[in-house]
Amino acid sequence: MDRFRGQEKGIAWVLPKASGAIEAVFRELGTREFFDSDEIVLHPQSTASKLYLIEKGTFSQAVVNYEVSKQYAMNLYFEKTVNGVINLFTGYQMPRLVRAVQPTMCLSIERQNLVDYFEENIEAYKQFAVYKELVAHSEIGGMVALFSLNLEDRFRLFFVSLLASGGYSFPSKHESNHVPLPFMLKRREVEQVIYASKVSLDRIFAKWYRNKWLMKKGEMLLVETSNLYPIYLWALAH
């Protein structure tokens, strides 16, 4: 198998891109909204009444452990992904914190307006139903990784997910390449996605820079792909 097809089935922690048909629905029904960096989009206690198509920027979605004031089980929403599909049909309250990681522009649709739209548009309903399943697969994949992989392998998987989401295809055999990451995130987001302490993550970063598995080139961060290959294979199987 020479291609990582994670974008089709959903990638751990990084949500799949929506189809062109779903984008068209947002352009027909949606209202443009803008969120500043770190602005809260949805509080855990709030009813999730909207869906958002990210046009530019990034959302994060996380469960909050209020006893230690820490977010975990975080997922990332980059351009052309949709937040809010998990409870699309039920409208149940979603106990998760959604915020803009950076200045983000999106199109929003009221959940009930979309459900009403489906009554006259069965093909749109099918598109969203499939996408809802892909999103669930991505979220479950992230949870499986948190419970079954050690911290450094979770760190590897995080880079595999970022590269796959950016369209990178891993070679059919074990080759060594330094490739740029398609998205730049703060260490805080990395800590929360893979559930790592600052000290542990600093230790891993230092090791990877020392072994040249990570390299900086201007504003870009390059990652060495042969070091990711075992976890790439794990991701294919999950």
Decide if pLDDT at 7 tops 70. Answer: no
What is the reported pTM?
A: 0.88
- Tens of pLDDT, residue by residue over 14-41, are 998 999 999 999 999 999 999 999 999 9
- Tens of pLDDT, residue by residue over 126-135, are 999 999 989 9
Contact call for residues 155 and 30 (beta carbons, < 8 A): no
Return the H-helix or E-strand segment holding 108: strand 104-110
Decide if pLDDT at 172 tops 80. Answer: no
Q: Which domains does the chain have, with CATH numbers?
A: 6-146 (2.60.120.10), 149-237 (1.10.10.10)
Which range is least confidently modeled, 6-10, 107-111, 139-143, 168-172?
6-10
Tell me the pLDDT band of 187, cut-offs 50, 70 and 90.
Answer: confident
- What are 182's two structure tokens? 């398609």
Question: What is the pLDDT, as a whole number, of residue 79?
Answer: 94
CA separation for the pair 102, 39 (Å, rounded): 9
CA separation for the pair 81, 26 (Å, rounded): 11
Sheet strand arrangement including 104-110 = 31-35, 104-110, 50-56, 82-83
Return the H-helix or E-strand segment holding 192: helix 187-194
Question: In the beta sheet, which residues pair with residue 214?
Answer: 223
Please report, for residues 56, 60, 78, 109, the alpha-carbon distance to residue 103 in angstroms, rounded to integers and kept in the order given: 8, 12, 12, 19
Share of the chain above pLDDT 70, in %: 91
Contacts of 173 (CB under 8 A, 6+ apart): none
Tell me the pLDDT band of 171, cut-offs 50, 70 and 90.
Answer: confident
Contact call for residues 167 and 180 (beta carbons, < 8 A): no
- Tens of pLDDT, residue by residue over 193-210, are 999 999 999 999 999 999
